[in-house]
Amino acid sequence: MKEKTNVNDIDRSLYDFRNEEDESEYFDSGLSKEIIRAISDEKNDTDWMREFRLRSLEIYQKTKMVDWGPSIEGLDVDNIVTYIRQKSRMNTDWEAVPDDIKDTFERLGIPQAERESLAGVGAQYDSELVYHNVRKEVAESGVVYTDLESAMHDERYAEMIRQHFMKLVPPTDHKFAALHGAVWSGGSFVYVPKGVCLEIPLQSYFRLNAKGAGQFEHTLIILEEGSYLHFIEGCSAPKYYEAGLHAGCVELYVGRNATLRYSTIENWSKNMYNLNTKRALVEEGGKIEWVSGSFGSHVSYLYPMSILNGRGASAEFTGITFAGEGQNLDTGAKVVHNAPDTSSYINTKSISKSGGISTFRSAVTVNKNAEGSRSAVNCESLMLDRISRSDTVPVMDIRTNKADIGHEAKIGRISDEAVFYLMSRGLDEDSAKAMIVRGFADNVSKELPLEYAMEMNNLIGLEMKGSIG
Amino acid sequence: MAHLLEIKGLSASAEKKEILHGVSLFIDGGETHVLMGPNGAGKSTLGSTIMGSPEYTVGSGSILLDGEDITELSPDKRAKKGIFLSFQSPIEIPGITLSEFLRNALEQTTGKHMKLWDFKKKLKAAMDLLDMDPSYADRDLNVGFSGGEKKKAEILQLLILQPRLAILDETDSGLDVDAVRTVSKGIDEYKKQTGGSLLVITHNTKILDALTVDKTHILADGKVAAEGGGELVEEVISSGFEKYIKKER
């Protein structure tokens, strides 16, 4: 690579820098009504939101810990700082962002990416958005892209948000959804009016700097009939010994004949627990396209769900997971076919090395009313050594016989024969293996935004270096 | 002067079973050698062991290139020193195009950066010679190639990488008459362009038509059972290997 382009630096040291923290801005760790009320005060919550948070806390306290995936014993929620007050208010002027935070995002290449290839950018630092901006022409088309808190206090959107907020992912869904409902902070609100097609993407970048803290951003996107949006989210954090927690929530409403492409690159440091919930509701003829790259975190639970609620609605999920040393990444996708002639296509690749564990889970439900629906699930895993693990857990619940369902799973190890073949042409062992892994990931990396695809290729090269055991 | 390749008393085994029991032979610069023998004699084992395949373990003996012992070198280092193996069953590598792979391999073996334009020109010329459809350059390496196209792709690599010693492991097997002719044309071109040496493992003579055979080695039961000039090929074709095989009692 000649030079750094957008958000694409791969050298982990790039993510792995910390800023000075001002501990006086930390709320007490743990969870109590007092803390929740304090967050509400800080955010000047409306009454319904105050109640919503407290109710979520009750649900959280009553709900049992998730117990079906990788162990989260190392996570002590009582010791997680749920809210960190920001020293400055959200800005639309980059220059007004405090220097240390500005420097963080500069190093991550965000402002440059905004200038070069994005229609709008949001940047969250710990608990709060510090910057949000959209190009003038985008704003003029009626597109709204701002932080959820501002939108909630804007009478034009307040009711819309109230009707949609945590309706797809209710706090009763699981323990961390309840936690999210209680302490959520930051995130983005996007509204695309009828017929508006955004040619260039919007991007939100989430950075958790504080140690032993949680990030609980909420992303709410509403696409009206016939609109198009590509939304990109990126996540990173520096490495600490204390466990960090990311329990974000993404709710996507895709209107009739609208298409939403939602790309995520998650590169949390390896002390993070990434317990994220993402869900899309798709109306007649609409389409959700998920593109998901999971590279970071210590433990991940991530299975974006698509609910196909109108005739002809469709979902495509393209994902890649790379589990290295000390990582247990449980990822996959869920689809509910809840209308006739709906279709879904899930295509994932997972790679595990140096003792990493990668588990693919899928759940496809085809309801009785979903006649004429089609679903295809494809998952491939590649293990790079004998100490790494890979599993697939596909679940299908088909309630009509008028549906076309397919599933294919392949688990394999990197073949010695293939490595020898490439080496016999002059490639050293690292390069040969990296080439095989890159090839394996190719049809997924092609779907990633260019700078992320480059980042992934570099990451593979880096991870493969000296991997020979 | 040292031989280009010299194999001294080489024994090699796979999964603890010894396949080669003390093979010795040498090849000089520019020579064409033929290696024949019944199935299971160890011909492919010898070819793969010269290339450094991890599938085989060398028990005793050594492999010398220009007098330098390369027995312990990894396959990529042998490739950089000028050894090439055309695989009997080339491996499919999804997601990497033939052209991308070959350019990478060329840069690795020569240690020089090559301009994309120059590389494409070179690739195109070699593909034309082998009657390969240009679209193969952008297809994933060997993936979904027919048996014939895979073998042509091996010879294409030979033409681009221009090694000093090429081992061709049954490059002609499973090919129709026309494909064998095309492949032979490619091998002939390699000889013309580079004056390199060949070790041709084969069961028939068609692939040798355009070549002058300097020496023939008959391998049986993991040993060199006979050696001779080009005429030995004809003799084996007409009377078989029987007299070289030890009768087991």
Closest chain B C-alpha to A110 CA, distance in angstroms: 30
High-pLDDT (> 90) share of chain A, %: 53
Closest chain B C-alpha to A371 CA, distance in angstroms: 35
Q: Confidence band (pLDDT; 50, 70, 90) for A84?
A: confident
Set of chain A residues whose Cβ sits within 8 Å of the Cβ of B80: 426
Nearest to B76 among A417, A418, A423 (CB): A423
Question: Cβ distance A218 to A184 under 8 Å?
Answer: yes
Question: Residue A23's closest CA among A126, A118, A94, A111?
Answer: A126
pLDDT reported for residue B182:
93
pLDDT reported for residue A244:
84
Q: Which residue has the higher pLDDT, A186 or B152?
A: B152
pLDDT reported for residue A50:
96
**B230-241 mean pLDDT:** 87
Q: Do B75 and A431 touch (CB under 8 A)?
A: no
pLDDT reported for residue A388:
92
Q: Is the pLDDT of residue A93 over 70?
A: yes
**Least confidently predicted of A14-23, A184-193, B85-94, B142-151:** A14-23
CATH numeric code, B5-244:
3.40.50.300
Name the most confidently modeled range: A38-47, B68-77, B111-120: B68-77
B100: nearest CA in chain A? A435
From CA A437, how far away is CA A460, in angstroms rounded? 7
Which tens digit of pLDDT belongs to each residue from B20-35?
999 999 999 999 999 9
Q: Is the pLDDT of residue A23 over 80?
A: no
Amino acid at position A98, single letter = P
How many contacts, defined by CB atoms under 8 Å, are there between A and B? 85
A417: nearest CA in chain B? B91
pLDDT reported for residue B127:
97
Write the burial class of residue A50 (CB in 10 Å: 0-12 exposed, 13-18 middle, 19+ buried). Answer: middle
Name the residue with tokens 């016999």. Answer: A424
Name the most confidently modeled range: A25-29, A163-167, A408-412: A163-167
**Torsions phi, psi for A273 (to 5 deg):** -100, 115
Residue A379 CB coordination number (10 Å): 24
Structure-token pair, residue A411: 């688990």
Which tens digit of pLDDT belongs to each residue from B53-70?
999 999 999 999 999 999
Q: Do B53 and A436 touch (CB under 8 A)?
A: no
Q: Is the pLDDT of residue A265 over 50?
A: yes
Asked if the C-beta of A410 comes within 8 angstroms of chain B's C-beta atoms, the answer is no
Set of chain B residues whose Cβ sits within 8 Å of the Cβ of A426: 76, 79-80, 105-106, 108-109, 161
A426: nearest CA in chain B? B76
Q: Which residue has the higher pLDDT, A425 or A20?
A: A425
Q: Do A427 and B105 touch (CB under 8 A)?
A: yes
Asked if the C-beta of A438 comes within 8 angstroms of chain B's C-beta atoms, the answer is yes
**B184-208 mean pLDDT:** 92
From CA A255, how far away is CA A287, in angstroms rounded? 9
A436: nearest CA in chain B? B93
pLDDT reported for residue B246:
66
Set of chain A residues whose Cβ sits within 8 Å of the Cβ of B93: 418, 421-422, 435-436, 439
Average pLDDT, rounded, for chain A:
85
Q: Confidence band (pLDDT; 50, 70, 90) for B42?
A: very high
Look up residue A91 and give its DSSP letter: B
B53: nearest CA in chain A? A420
High-pLDDT (> 90) share of chain B, %: 80
B139: nearest CA in chain A? A439
A433: nearest CA in chain B? B93
Angle at A361 between CA A359 and CA A365, to 5 degrees: 175
pLDDT reported for residue A87:
58
pLDDT reported for residue A453:
76
Which tens digit of pLDDT belongs to each residue from A105-151?
777 666 676 666 676 777 777 777 677 778 788 888 999 998 888 89
pLDDT reported for residue A183:
93
Nearest to B157 among A425, A431, A438 (CB): A425
**Least confidently predicted of A88-92, A179-183, A389-393, A463-467:** A463-467
Give Cα separations from A21 to A211, A341, B100 (angstroms): 8, 53, 47
Closest chain B C-alpha to A440 CA, distance in angstroms: 6
Antiparallel, parallel or unpaired: β A128-134 and A120-125: antiparallel
Q: Is the pLDDT of residue A445 over 90?
A: no
pLDDT reported for residue A86:
64
Structure-token pair, residue B108: 């690795």
Q: Confidence band (pLDDT; 50, 70, 90) for A425?
A: very high
**Least confidently predicted of A264-268, A343-347, A402-406:** A264-268
**Least confidently predicted of A124-128, B96-100, B232-236, B240-244:** A124-128
Antiparallel, parallel or unpaired: β A144-147 and A188-192: antiparallel
Which residue of A349, A422, A457 to mutate against B (max B Cβ within 10 Å)? A422
Q: Do A435 and B109 touch (CB under 8 A)?
A: no
Set of chain B residues whose Cβ sits within 8 Å of the Cβ of A432: 76
Q: Is the pLDDT of residue A90 over 70?
A: no
Q: Is the pLDDT of residue A466 over 60?
A: no
Q: Is the pLDDT of residue A94 over 90?
A: no
Set of chain A residues whose Cβ sits within 8 Å of the Cβ of B161: 425-426
Which residue of A378, A410, A414, A420 to mutate against B (max B Cβ within 10 Å)? A420
Question: Residue B28's closest CA among B73, B79, B65?
Answer: B65
Average pLDDT, rounded, for chain B:
93
Which tens digit of pLDDT belongs to each residue from A200-212?
888 888 777 777 7
pLDDT reported for residue A11:
45
**A417-440 mean pLDDT:** 93
Which tens digit of pLDDT belongs to each residue from A214-224?
889 999 999 99
**Torsions phi, psi for A344 (to 5 deg):** -140, 145
Q: Do B93 and A422 touch (CB under 8 A)?
A: yes
Please give the distance of CA B174 from its chain centroid, rounded to a whole number. 16
Q: Confidence band (pLDDT; 50, 70, 90) for B118?
A: very high
pLDDT reported for residue A205:
81
pLDDT reported for residue A139:
86
Amino acid at position A413, single letter = R
Closest chain A C-alpha to B108 CA, distance in angstroms: 6
Closest chain A C-alpha to B181 CA, distance in angstroms: 25
pLDDT reported for residue A4:
29
Which residue numbers of B have CB closer than 8 Å to A's CBs? 51-55, 74-76, 78-80, 84-85, 87, 90-91, 93-96, 101-102, 104-106, 108-109, 140-141, 157, 161
Q: Do A423 and B75 touch (CB under 8 A)?
A: yes
Q: Do A439 and B95 touch (CB under 8 A)?
A: yes
Q: Which residue has the higher pLDDT, A467 or A258?
A: A258
Q: Do A418 and B85 touch (CB under 8 A)?
A: no
Q: Is the pLDDT of residue A340 over 60?
A: yes
pLDDT reported for residue A15:
63
Nearest to B51 among A418, A424, A440 (CB): A424
Antiparallel, parallel or unpaired: β A287-294 and A259-267: parallel
**A460-464 mean pLDDT:** 71
pLDDT reported for residue A241:
64
From CA A457, how far away is CA A445, in angstroms rounded? 8
**Least confidently predicted of A110-119, A394-403, A437-446, B49-58:** A110-119
Domain boundaries, chain A: 12-302, 415-469
pLDDT reported for residue A6:
32
Q: Where are the alpha helices (DSSP H) in B34-115?
A: 43-51, 75-80, 98-110
Q: Is the pLDDT of residue A467 over 70?
A: no
Name the residue with tokens 């023939």. Answer: B216
Set of chain B residues whose Cβ sits within 8 Å of the Cβ of A423: 52, 74-76, 79
From CA A343, how far away is CA A376, in angstroms rounded? 8
Which tens digit of pLDDT belongs to each residue from A297-328?
899 999 999 999 999 999 999 999 999 899 99
Q: Do B96 and A439 touch (CB under 8 A)?
A: yes
Set of chain A residues whose Cβ sits within 8 Å of the Cβ of B94: 439-440, 442
Asked if the C-beta of A417 comes within 8 angstroms of chain B's C-beta atoms, the answer is yes
Asked if the C-beta of A428 comes within 8 angstroms of chain B's C-beta atoms, the answer is yes
Structure-token pair, residue A130: 């510090």
